[in-house]
Amino acid sequence: MAKVAFLLAGGFEDSEMKNPYEAIKEAGHETTIIGLEKGAECKGKKGTVSYTAELASSEAKASDFDAVVIPGGSAPEALRVNDDVVRFVKELNEQGKLISGICHGPQVMISADILKGKAATCYIGIRDDVKLAGADYKDEEVVVSENLVTSRTPNDEPAFIREILAKLA
């Protein structure tokens, strides 16, 4: 079974964390919530779910994980300015491990500079940023490009989860 990290900060899109997290756990994979500080409470922007960071980004080692999921909402904005988060995602990419992001999640991929030459999708509001980062932007429910899986909105969660689970299998 795979070890899957979830990058989280307050203000994430509730369902974009809850649904992939539960599906990945249900499939038997091990999950770890990585936040800016260990023990920090991360509340969803709609207030329906809340999670506690089990590991600080400063302690996260790419070699300990097989994949990362980056939910959207406003959390990626807080995550992308953290050097440890960016390092972690860069290292996962260098190791060819699965990096998945939905909605605003690809903002972290932009800061980690891992989109060049890959296809990706995202929330329409950051489409230009994804293109400027070197990605071939696609307006599709899910885009799989090498080790990346990206989706646009909560409506795309079933396809997003399906492709993550397929990659982890």
Token reading at 54: 């089990």
Token reading at 107: 């903002």
Q: How close are the terminal C-alpha atoms of the chain, in Å?
A: 8
Chain center to CA of 80: 11
Measured distance CA(114)–CA(20) in Å, rounded: 22
Q: Is 103 a catalytic residue?
A: yes
Would you say 115 and 164 are in contact if contact means Cβ atoms under 8 Å apart? no
Q: Is 104 a catalytic residue?
A: yes
Candidates 29, 42, 103, 122; catalytic one? 103
Angstrom CA distances, 38 to 56, 64, 100, 128, stand at 4, 17, 22, 33
Candidates 29, 42, 104, 122; catalytic one? 104
Active site residues: 103-104
